[in-house]
Amino acid sequence: MADNKTGSTLEITLKKSLIGRLESHQLTAKSLGLRKIGQTVVQPKNDATIGKIKKISYMLEVKE
């Protein structure tokens, strides 16, 4: 993504439970640092993070 600024971050909050989800979706959430509902993490805005967010977007709330 060419429009990313250096130092740009995203606040990612887990809004739905990981119980009963596909294992790959659970592992994606854990790779973002999310374990509990309501937990918020700050991640750098890059292609890898955006790809993870798109994969499990139905469980997340994202703010810039």
* Residue 30: per-residue pLDDT: 98
- DSSP conformational letter for 8: -
Q: Determine contact, residues 9/45, Cβ cutoff 8 Å.
A: yes
> Tens digits of per-residue pLDDT, 2-34?
555 567 999 999 999 999 999 999 999 999 999
In which order are the strands placed within the sheet that holds 40-44? 40-44, 9-14, 60-63
Find tokens 């790959």 and name the residue.
24
pLDDT above 50: residue 62: yes
Rounded Cα distance, 53 and 49, in Å: 6
* Residue 49: per-residue pLDDT: 97
- DSSP conformational letter for 58: G
